[in-house]
Amino acid sequence: MTKNDIPLRERIILALDVDHPAKARELVKNTETYLGFYKVGLQLFMASWFDVVDWLIARGHKVMVDLKFFDIPETVRLAVAQLKNRGVTFATVHGNDAILRAAIQEKGDIKLLAVTVLTSFGEEDLRDMGMTGSVEDLVYLRARRALDLGCDGIVSSGLEAARIREKLGEKLLIVTPGIRPGANTSENLDDQKRIMTAQAAIANGADYVVVGRPITRATDPVSVIESMQAGISKGLEKRNR
Protein backbone atom coordinates (compact mmCIF):
# COMPACT_ATOMS: atom_id res chain seq x y z
CA MET A 1 0.00 0.00 0.00
CA THR A 2 1.33 3.41 -0.97
CA LYS A 3 0.73 6.51 1.11
CA ASN A 4 -1.89 7.68 -1.37
CA ASP A 5 -3.75 4.41 -0.88
CA ILE A 6 -4.23 4.82 2.87
CA PRO A 7 -8.02 4.56 3.42
CA LEU A 8 -9.65 7.71 4.76
CA ARG A 9 -11.04 5.76 7.73
CA GLU A 10 -7.46 4.94 8.77
CA ARG A 11 -6.01 8.46 8.43
CA ILE A 12 -7.36 9.36 11.88
CA ILE A 13 -5.87 7.30 14.70
CA LEU A 14 -8.24 7.64 17.65
CA ALA A 15 -6.37 7.90 20.95
CA LEU A 16 -8.05 5.68 23.54
CA ASP A 17 -6.66 7.68 26.45
CA VAL A 18 -9.01 6.37 29.11
CA ASP A 19 -8.54 4.67 32.47
CA HIS A 20 -10.58 1.51 31.97
CA PRO A 21 -10.86 -1.03 29.13
CA ALA A 22 -14.68 -0.85 29.24
CA LYS A 23 -14.51 2.84 28.34
CA ALA A 24 -12.13 2.06 25.49
CA ARG A 25 -14.43 -0.62 24.11
CA GLU A 26 -17.39 1.75 24.26
CA LEU A 27 -15.45 4.42 22.33
CA VAL A 28 -14.49 1.89 19.69
CA LYS A 29 -18.02 0.55 19.27
CA ASN A 30 -19.32 4.10 18.89
CA THR A 31 -16.76 5.05 16.23
CA GLU A 32 -15.65 1.94 14.37
CA THR A 33 -18.16 2.46 11.57
CA TYR A 34 -16.12 5.54 10.66
CA LEU A 35 -12.61 4.67 11.90
CA GLY A 36 -10.28 1.71 11.62
CA PHE A 37 -7.14 2.74 13.53
CA TYR A 38 -6.78 3.19 17.31
CA LYS A 39 -4.00 4.18 19.70
CA VAL A 40 -3.34 2.45 23.00
CA GLY A 41 -1.11 4.58 25.20
CA LEU A 42 0.43 4.22 28.64
CA GLN A 43 -2.72 4.87 30.67
CA LEU A 44 -4.88 2.26 28.95
CA PHE A 45 -2.05 -0.23 28.53
CA MET A 46 -1.35 -0.15 32.26
CA ALA A 47 -5.06 -0.71 32.91
CA SER A 48 -5.53 -3.57 30.47
CA TRP A 49 -2.11 -4.89 29.39
CA PHE A 50 -2.65 -6.54 25.98
CA ASP A 51 -6.38 -7.18 26.41
CA VAL A 52 -7.59 -4.10 24.51
CA VAL A 53 -4.81 -4.42 21.92
CA ASP A 54 -5.81 -8.01 21.16
CA TRP A 55 -9.52 -7.12 21.19
CA LEU A 56 -9.00 -4.32 18.67
CA ILE A 57 -7.00 -6.52 16.33
CA ALA A 58 -9.58 -9.30 16.58
CA ARG A 59 -12.19 -6.77 15.39
CA GLY A 60 -10.10 -6.03 12.34
CA HIS A 61 -8.68 -2.69 13.46
CA LYS A 62 -5.13 -1.40 13.24
CA VAL A 63 -3.38 -0.52 16.49
CA MET A 64 -0.70 1.98 17.41
CA VAL A 65 0.96 0.99 20.67
CA ASP A 66 2.20 4.33 21.96
CA LEU A 67 4.42 3.49 24.92
CA LYS A 68 7.35 5.69 23.85
CA PHE A 69 9.93 3.14 24.94
CA PHE A 70 12.86 4.90 26.61
CA ASP A 71 15.38 2.89 28.61
CA ILE A 72 18.76 1.28 28.21
CA PRO A 73 19.02 -0.22 24.71
CA GLU A 74 18.82 -3.86 25.75
CA THR A 75 15.67 -3.25 27.79
CA VAL A 76 14.07 -1.44 24.86
CA ARG A 77 15.03 -4.26 22.51
CA LEU A 78 13.40 -6.84 24.75
CA ALA A 79 10.31 -4.68 25.23
CA VAL A 80 9.81 -4.24 21.48
CA ALA A 81 10.22 -8.01 21.09
CA GLN A 82 7.11 -8.44 23.28
CA LEU A 83 5.06 -6.69 20.59
CA LYS A 84 6.14 -8.93 17.73
CA ASN A 85 3.64 -11.36 16.22
CA ARG A 86 0.70 -9.66 17.93
CA GLY A 87 -0.63 -7.84 14.88
CA VAL A 88 0.42 -4.37 16.05
CA THR A 89 0.86 -1.85 13.22
CA PHE A 90 2.79 1.03 14.86
CA ALA A 91 4.96 1.27 17.97
CA THR A 92 6.77 4.33 19.31
CA VAL A 93 10.30 4.70 20.64
CA HIS A 94 11.79 7.78 22.28
CA GLY A 95 15.54 7.97 22.59
CA ASN A 96 19.05 8.22 21.21
CA ASP A 97 20.73 6.33 18.39
CA ALA A 98 21.57 3.29 20.51
CA ILE A 99 17.99 2.98 21.74
CA LEU A 100 16.55 3.27 18.24
CA ARG A 101 19.02 0.72 16.84
CA ALA A 102 18.09 -1.74 19.58
CA ALA A 103 14.39 -1.30 18.87
CA ILE A 104 14.88 -1.77 15.13
CA GLN A 105 16.55 -5.13 15.75
CA GLU A 106 13.30 -6.58 17.10
CA LYS A 107 10.57 -4.71 15.26
CA GLY A 108 9.68 -7.47 12.80
CA ASP A 109 6.61 -6.41 10.82
CA ILE A 110 5.85 -3.49 13.14
CA LYS A 111 6.31 0.01 11.75
CA LEU A 112 8.63 1.68 14.24
CA LEU A 113 8.02 5.40 14.85
CA ALA A 114 10.68 7.58 16.45
CA VAL A 115 9.26 10.29 18.69
CA THR A 116 10.94 13.57 17.80
CA VAL A 117 9.71 16.28 20.18
CA LEU A 118 6.49 15.94 22.18
CA THR A 119 3.74 18.33 21.05
CA SER A 120 3.44 19.59 24.65
CA PHE A 121 6.96 21.01 24.23
CA GLY A 122 7.39 24.58 22.94
CA GLU A 123 10.11 27.09 22.16
CA GLU A 124 10.16 28.38 25.74
CA ASP A 125 10.85 24.86 27.00
CA LEU A 126 13.83 24.67 24.67
CA ARG A 127 15.20 27.92 26.07
CA ASP A 128 14.58 26.76 29.65
CA MET A 129 16.82 23.78 28.90
CA GLY A 130 19.55 26.08 27.65
CA MET A 131 19.27 24.81 24.08
CA THR A 132 19.78 27.00 21.04
CA GLY A 133 17.96 26.78 17.72
CA SER A 134 14.27 26.05 17.28
CA VAL A 135 11.94 23.14 17.93
CA GLU A 136 11.59 22.77 14.15
CA ASP A 137 15.37 22.39 13.81
CA LEU A 138 15.45 19.78 16.55
CA VAL A 139 12.55 17.82 15.06
CA TYR A 140 14.16 17.84 11.62
CA LEU A 141 17.53 16.66 12.95
CA ARG A 142 15.87 13.82 14.86
CA ALA A 143 13.74 12.87 11.86
CA ARG A 144 16.78 12.72 9.60
CA ARG A 145 18.62 10.59 12.15
CA ALA A 146 15.65 8.24 12.52
CA LEU A 147 15.59 7.75 8.74
CA ASP A 148 19.33 7.07 8.62
CA LEU A 149 19.02 4.48 11.39
CA GLY A 150 16.18 2.60 9.69
CA CYS A 151 13.01 3.74 11.45
CA ASP A 152 9.81 3.51 9.42
CA GLY A 153 8.50 6.87 10.50
CA ILE A 154 8.38 9.60 13.09
CA VAL A 155 5.93 11.31 15.40
CA SER A 156 5.97 15.09 15.00
CA SER A 157 3.58 17.99 14.99
CA GLY A 158 2.13 19.19 11.71
CA LEU A 159 4.13 22.38 12.07
CA GLU A 160 7.34 20.52 11.22
CA ALA A 161 5.90 18.14 8.62
CA ALA A 162 6.38 20.46 5.64
CA ARG A 163 10.13 20.81 6.16
CA ILE A 164 10.55 17.08 6.71
CA ARG A 165 8.72 16.32 3.47
CA GLU A 166 10.69 18.96 1.57
CA LYS A 167 14.07 17.72 2.81
CA LEU A 168 13.49 13.98 3.26
CA GLY A 169 10.81 13.26 0.66
CA GLU A 170 8.40 10.40 1.10
CA LYS A 171 10.84 8.08 2.84
CA LEU A 172 9.31 8.42 6.30
CA LEU A 173 5.80 8.02 7.62
CA ILE A 174 4.75 11.11 9.55
CA VAL A 175 2.24 10.58 12.35
CA THR A 176 0.97 13.82 13.84
CA PRO A 177 -0.64 14.37 17.25
CA GLY A 178 -1.71 17.76 18.64
CA ILE A 179 -4.71 17.92 16.29
CA ARG A 180 -7.44 20.37 17.12
CA PRO A 181 -10.65 21.18 15.17
CA GLY A 182 -10.33 24.98 15.27
CA ALA A 183 -7.87 26.84 13.08
CA ASN A 184 -7.23 29.47 15.78
CA THR A 185 -4.51 28.05 18.03
CA SER A 186 -5.26 30.70 20.66
CA GLU A 187 -8.41 28.70 21.41
CA ASN A 188 -6.32 25.80 22.66
CA LEU A 189 -6.72 25.52 26.42
CA ASP A 190 -5.11 22.14 27.13
CA ASP A 191 -1.54 20.91 27.49
CA GLN A 192 -0.66 20.78 23.79
CA LYS A 193 1.45 23.66 22.48
CA ARG A 194 2.29 22.79 18.86
CA ILE A 195 -1.15 22.20 17.39
CA MET A 196 -2.80 22.24 13.98
CA THR A 197 -6.00 21.20 12.23
CA ALA A 198 -6.15 17.78 10.60
CA GLN A 199 -6.51 19.38 7.17
CA ALA A 200 -3.43 21.56 7.60
CA ALA A 201 -1.33 18.72 9.01
CA ILE A 202 -2.15 16.43 6.08
CA ALA A 203 -1.57 19.25 3.58
CA ASN A 204 1.84 19.81 5.19
CA GLY A 205 2.80 16.18 4.66
CA ALA A 206 1.47 14.13 7.57
CA ASP A 207 0.21 10.65 6.68
CA TYR A 208 -1.83 10.05 9.82
CA VAL A 209 -3.22 12.28 12.56
CA VAL A 210 -3.67 11.15 16.15
CA VAL A 211 -6.80 12.62 17.73
CA GLY A 212 -8.08 12.11 21.26
CA ARG A 213 -10.03 14.65 23.28
CA PRO A 214 -11.58 16.58 20.36
CA ILE A 215 -13.40 13.35 19.48
CA THR A 216 -13.68 11.43 22.75
CA ARG A 217 -15.01 14.42 24.71
CA ALA A 218 -17.27 15.76 21.96
CA THR A 219 -21.04 15.74 22.44
CA ASP A 220 -21.29 14.42 18.87
CA PRO A 221 -18.07 12.48 18.13
CA VAL A 222 -19.28 11.29 14.73
CA SER A 223 -19.77 14.83 13.45
CA VAL A 224 -16.23 15.71 14.55
CA ILE A 225 -14.86 12.64 12.78
CA GLU A 226 -16.74 13.41 9.59
CA SER A 227 -15.64 17.04 9.66
CA MET A 228 -12.00 16.05 10.16
CA GLN A 229 -12.19 13.46 7.40
CA ALA A 230 -13.60 16.07 5.02
CA GLY A 231 -10.69 18.32 5.97
CA ILE A 232 -8.20 15.50 5.44
CA SER A 233 -9.59 14.92 1.95
CA LYS A 234 -9.08 18.60 1.16
CA GLY A 235 -5.58 18.47 2.62
CA LEU A 236 -4.71 15.51 0.40
CA GLU A 237 -6.03 17.32 -2.67
CA LYS A 238 -3.87 20.33 -1.88
CA ARG A 239 -0.83 18.17 -1.22
CA ASN A 240 -1.18 16.15 -4.43
CA ARG A 241 -1.59 19.11 -6.79
**Catalytic amino acids?**
68
CA gap 183, 132 in Å, rounded: 29
Lowest mean pLDDT among 53-57, 134-138, 218-222, 228-232: 134-138
Residue 72 falls inside a structural domain: yes
Confidence of residue 132 (pLDDT cuts 50, 70, 90): confident
pLDDT band at 190 (very low <50, low <70, confident <90, very high): low
* Amino acid in the structure at residue 147: L
**185 occurs within a structural domain:** yes
Q: What is the CA radius of gyration of the chain?
A: 17
Which H/E stretch holds residue 68? strand 62-69
- Count of the separate structural domains present in the chain: 1
CA gap 3, 41 in Å, rounded: 24
Judge whether residue 172 has pLDDT over 90: yes
Does pLDDT of 22 surpass 70?
Answer: yes
Mean pLDDT of the chain: 92
pLDDT above 70 covers a percentage of the chain that reads 94
241: Cβ–Cβ under 8 A, 6 or more apart, which residues? Answer: none
> Residue 94 in contact with residue 119, Cβ under 8 Å?
no
Query: Is the residue at 2 inside a domain?
Result: no
Domain span at 220: 9-239
pLDDT of 98 over the 60 cut: yes
In a domain, 31, yes or no: yes
Is residue 195 scored above 90 in pLDDT? no
Indicate if the pLDDT at residue 80 is higher than 80. Answer: yes
Please give the single-letter amino acid code of residue 108: G
CATH (domain of 203): 3.20.20.70
Lowest mean pLDDT among 3-7, 35-39, 126-130, 146-150: 126-130
